[in-house]
Chains A and B, each alone.
Chain A
Amino acid sequence: MNARGLAGYAVLAFPILLLTVFILCPVLIVTLQGFTSGTSFLDVVASPAIQFTIIFTFSQAILSTIMAVCIGLPGAFLIARLRFRGKSLVKAMMIVPFVLPPIVVVVGFLQMFGPYGVIDSILMWIQGSSSSVFNLAKGVPGIILAHTFYNVPLVLLMVSASLERLNPEIEESAEILGATPLQRLRRITLPHIMPSLLAAAVLTFMFCFMSFPIVLAFGQGVYLTIEAQIYNAFRIFDYGQASSLTLIQIVVTLSLAFVYVKLGTREDDSGPTASIKTTTFSRYRLAERCLIIGYLVLIVVLVLGPIATITRASVFDPMAQTYTFDGFTNLFTAGSWYLVNSLFYAGLATMFAVVLGVPLAIAIRSKSKTVPTLASTMILLPLGISSVTVAYGLVLVIAVPLGLITNPWPIIVVAQTIIGLPFSARAIEIAMSKIDSAILEQADSLGASRIQRLLFVELPLLAPGILVGGVFAFAMAIGEMSATLFIALPQNYTLAVAIYHYLGIRAFVEAGAAALVLVIICVIAFLVMERISKGSTGGAL
């Protein structure tokens, strides 16, 4: 191997090495340690409380997935088949929930479905009651609804994209061969969208399976996911329980990730992209129009409602039932540190996520046999491993030996980098795959050296992808709550963690104000992404 090849390998190996140090080692050490101390694996599995948690984790994830698919599927057909003004805007807006931090969604849900929320206020007015009559934002319904909110757009986008790839002549072939609309759906359309529908369902299940902030907020300490129970176990220093649960969770998430990747490769076999046949609203029959309008109302209440009502949450105090600006006043005086912390940590994390994302993306696309597999596994790890476990590993293996325990802010930055990295690396990798290799060969044939080619050709072409990746990583980092909540001491609180604490002490307007600030930051991030990538951010998922 010559010197240049060696340098190349060093650049590619660097991020993989860092990830090994900051994820693999801490998680392995913590997990192994757990099996030698505290409750044993068998005792953990035999405990009725843990069994309940495991069963609840699975059943709520299954139920949420079914809900998301049932509500998302009709919307996917509408998006694909209905022609209307502002369609691209609606599709772009669907991405907003992905960048919204879960704890913000909790605030929105409380305001929409909770006591003295929008729906409750209307019902109270109708019934002439002065106390709350309606509350869906707690317990199992709250958890399921919030998960549905998160994943309906996912199902909608993935399935409608697949529908748009269906060659309209295939459906016409079936039609002219005598198939009724129902037969066409069953024999042609459903088989076509099945891989992407399954992929969306697997992703949804995975998100719900690992759900943390929503369960913590709505579960009332009774209904817990495995992830939330891991958090509890660490807090009572039961490492045995935490490790056992982590192991169970990793086995499940890695199997799901494997299924997802398999589904993804099958999807690529589908036929060429063709323009889909669309109809205008006026072409539908009256009954169909009523169904469509009913569906849109449901989507507005369920998906748009919680986002829109965050504004009300920031100024309406449900305890006193008055409108007030105290939330903002308190947030920007006593709580101004939260915003500074959030921006500082997320900004640093974004920088690292981009700097590491570029070589990782190059590694994924490299031609060698082992390097791409290694790199993509490293990227997927943070998505599959409980972020609470990662946080605990970082505290124990990095922070304690380095004496960072009194002010662990660097550990927060590391955790947020790890959370954002999959998104930045993926966006950069997509941008790389779009570069025409002929352009690079052209640069070679004009005598550019490898460094010149990278600096003057590849990086400028990659710039939009790198920006999108950076913004995505930023949105993930600033909204991150699980790991940050675990690591942060009061002086390290970010906005997301602050919201959780405000909710805990029933300071609802302060929580609302903080949530609104986060929403504004995330929406700006989303607009920037839209602007740069001109509507192709869907691919970054």
Chain B
Amino acid sequence: MVEVELRGLIREFSDGSRIGPIDLQVRDGEFLTLLGPSGSGKTTTLRMVAGFIENVGGSLLFDGKDMVNVEPRERHIGMVFQSVALFPNMTVFGNISFGPDMAGWSREKTIERVEELADLLGIRHLLLRKISEVSGGEAQRVALARALATNPKLLLLDEPLSALDLQLRERLQTEIRRIQRKLKITTIYVTHSQDEAFAISDRVAILNDGIVSQVGTPEELYDSPANEFVARFLGSGNVFSGQIKEVSGGHLKVLSNDNWFEIPGEGEINSQIIFSVKPEDVIISDSLPVDWAEAELIAITPQVGSFKVSLDFNGIPIIALTYDEELVMRLRSNGEKTIAFAFKTESIIILGN
């Protein structure tokens, strides 16, 4: 299909804020998701790729060719919008065949293509309906079929599922992924939902304040966040900051929140350090061992296969995962408020200072 490269792409707004420079490579046939909080520049980036807004600096390359001065309609892009944006004055068929019509396809070829896509998405029975007569989930399928009709080289999806309920959203996620795999079309997907991004993508680019913070597979991002923002945003890590008090043989003694922690790593005495511990690497105990830190128990939430335990560590929230059903029963029954915790030392991730 196409390989997309964003090289130092910058967009400035009249209020002085700006998005970029964004550097990002999307491989041929890859499903890449732009993930970030609202206002981080996901949609702006996507719209610069589509050509709806101009960049003030940098370049946008499709297979090495600069696209900045190419009109959106000549970029061979299929796009699904947040508001679905189906043409209300046409039928479902009219919507899907709009692209082929504009490209001047023959009637037979158009009908064949529309029916092929309708079968692929399971919307054949809807073809003659008006847009006002299709449901939310069906509208998304029509929008996807419309975007794919002229065999675009690149598919852009701008939070297409954000208006749907959870069950429908999960079903359509797998469907989008199935179709993308089948067509091997390069795809850029925008969402603010981490679950959605991780469920659907080959790789995820995390955006913060107009800059790409980290790019990687979901596992890479989860296991080794590159910085504090990613760790906090993904919620995978409990983030702590402290001061290094002792350095000895690859181990640091860190004072954080009036408690001592031992961390493997290097550093200078009296410098600040930020580190993160994933919930499954936090161990909890109700027997209060001597050199463990203590925290207040806030809540226990049962999850599939485990319990999520929320703690308050002198104002810092900590999430721990436990599989110990007996421990949970004891905590629940004796109304104990104080609980001890420690980290699996080898899995602490140093994020910087």
Please give the residue numbers on chain A whose beta carbons come within 8 Å of chain B beta carbons, in ascending order. Answer: 167, 169-170, 172-180, 183, 187-188, 191-192, 269-272, 274
Whether the Cβ atoms of A272 and B73 lie closer than 8 Å is no
* Contact call B73/A274, Cβ cutoff below 8 A: no
- The answer to whether B102 touches A192, judged by C-beta atoms less than 8 angstroms apart, is no
- In the complex the two chains form, is B85's CB within 8 Å of A173's CB? yes
Would you list 24 pairs from A and B whose C-beta atoms are within 8 A, ordered by A residue?
A: A167-B83, A169-B81, A169-B85, A170-B86, A170-B88, A172-B79, A172-B81, A172-B85, A173-B81, A173-B146, A175-B52, A175-B72, A175-B73, A176-B78, A177-B73, A177-B146, A178-B73, A178-B102, A179-B98, A179-B102, A180-B73, A187-B98, A269-B88, A269-B132
Bound-state Cα–Cα, A173 to B75, Å: 13
In Å, the complex CA distance between A270 and B83 comes to 14
Contacts of A167 in B (CB 8 A): 83, 85
B82 within 8 A of A: yes
A525 → B minimal CB distance (Å): 37
Besides A172-B72, A180-B102, 8 more A-B contacts (Cβ < 8 Å) are: A169-B82, A169-B85, A172-B81, A175-B72, A175-B73, A177-B98, A177-B99, A271-B83
- Residue picked from A169, A178, A272, most chain B C-beta under 10 Å: A178
Tell me, in angstroms, the Cα distance from A35 to B82 when the chains sit together. 64
Out of A176, A178, A183, name the residue touching B50 (CB < 8 Å): A176
Give bound CA distance, A271 to B89, whole Å.
Answer: 11
B102 touches A172 (CB 8 A): no
The docked-state distance in angstroms from the alpha carbon of A187 to that of B95 is 11
Tell whether, in the assembled complex, residue B78 and residue A169 are in contact, meaning their CB atoms are under 8 Å apart: no
Are B89 and A191 closer than 8 Å at their CB atoms?
Answer: yes
B88 and A270: CB pair below 8 A?
yes
Answer yes or no: B329 CB below 8 A from chain A CBs: no
B63-91, CB under 8 A of A: which get 1 and which 0?
Answer: 00000000011110111011101111100
Instruction: Please report the C-alpha to C-alpha distance between residue A274 and residue B89 in the assembled complex, in whole angstroms.
Output: 17
Residues of B within 8 A of A178 (CB): 73-74, 99, 102-103, 150
Of the candidates A173, A176, A272, A274, which one forms a contact with B87 in the assembled complex, judged by CB atoms under 8 Å apart?
Answer: A173
Grouping DSSP codes into helix (H, G, I), strand (E, B) and loop, the A interface class, with mixed when no group exceeds half, is helix
Using CB atoms, name the residue of chain B closest to A194.
B89
A176 to B77, Cβ gap below 8 A? yes
Give per-residue flags for B139-153: 1 if the beta carbon is below 8 A from chain A beta carbons, else 0. 000000011011000
How far, in angstroms, from A38 to B151 measured CA to CA in the complex? 76
Which residues in B have some Cβ–Cβ distance to A below 8 Å? 50, 52, 72-75, 77-79, 81-83, 85-89, 98-99, 102-103, 132, 146-147, 149-150
Asked if B79 and A176 make an inter-chain contact with CB atoms under 8 angstroms apart, the answer reads yes
CB distance from B81 to the nearest CB of A (A): 4
Q: Which residues of B are found within 8 Å of A192, using beta-carbon distances? A: 88-89
User: Which residues of chain A have C-beta atoms less than 8 A from B75's C-beta?
Assistant: 176
Partner of B83, one of A174, A177, A274: A274
What 6 A-B pairs come out closest when comparing CB atoms? A178-B102, A169-B85, A177-B99, A191-B89, A169-B81, A173-B85
Chain B residues contacting A169 (CB-CB under 8 Å) are: 81-83, 85
Closest Cβ of chain A to B30, distance in Å, is 20
Shortest beta-carbon distance from B189 to chain A in Å = 16
The interface centre, meaning the residue of B73, B74, B77, B146 with most chain A CB atoms within 10 A of its CB, is B73
Chain B min CB distance to A36 (Å): 52
Contact partners of B78 in chain A: CB under 8 A: 176
How far in angstroms is the closest Cβ of chain B from A263?
15
Inter-chain contacts of B89 with A (CB < 8 A): 188, 191-192
With a cutoff of 8 Å between Cβ atoms, the chain A residues found around residue B99 in the complex are 177-178
- Measured CA separation A178–B82 after assembly (Å): 19
CA distance A325 to B105 in the complex (A): 73
Least CB separation from B143: chain A residue: A173
Complex Cα–Cα for A272 and B77 (A): 26
Asked if A177 and B81 make an inter-chain contact with CB atoms under 8 angstroms apart, the answer reads no
- For the complex, give the distance between the alpha carbons of A174 and B87 in Å: 9
**Chain A residues whose C-beta falls within 8 Å of the C-beta of B150 in the assembled complex:** 177-178
When distances are taken between beta carbons in the complex, the residues of chain B under 8 Å from A176 are 50, 72-73, 75, 77-79
Contact indicator A188/B87 (Cβ below 8 Å)? yes
Q: Which B residues are CB-close (under 8 A) to A191? A: 89
- What residues of chain A lie closer than 8 Å to B79, measured between beta carbons? 172-173, 176
Nearest Cβ in chain B — how far from A192, in angstroms? 7
- CB-CB under 8 A from A269, the residues of chain B are 88, 132
- In angstroms, how far is the closest chain B Cβ from the Cβ of A455? 42
Structural contact, A271 and B88, CB atoms closer than 8 A: yes
Whole-angstrom CA separation of A468 from B75 in the bound complex: 52
Task: Provide the residues of chain B in CB contact with A173, threshold 8 Å.
Answer: 79, 81, 85-87, 146
Nearest-neighbor residue (CB-CB) of A188 within chain B: B87
Question: Which chain A residue lies CB-closest to B50?
Answer: A176
Min CB distance, A201 to chain B, in Å? 19
A90 to B211, CA, bound (A): 40
Are B87 and A170 touching (Cβ within 8 A)?
yes
What are the residues of chain A within 8 A of B82 when measuring CB–CB?
A: 169
Smallest CB separation, A87 vs chain B (Å) = 16
A-side contacts of B86, CB under 8 Å: 170, 173
Q: Report the Cα distance A178→B98, complex, angstroms.
A: 9
Smallest CB–CB gap between B74 and chain A, Å?
8
Q: How far is the CA of A47 from the CA of B75 in the complex (A)?
A: 67
Measured CA separation A172–B74 after assembly (Å): 13
Chain A contacts for B83, CB-based, 8 A: 167, 169, 271-272, 274
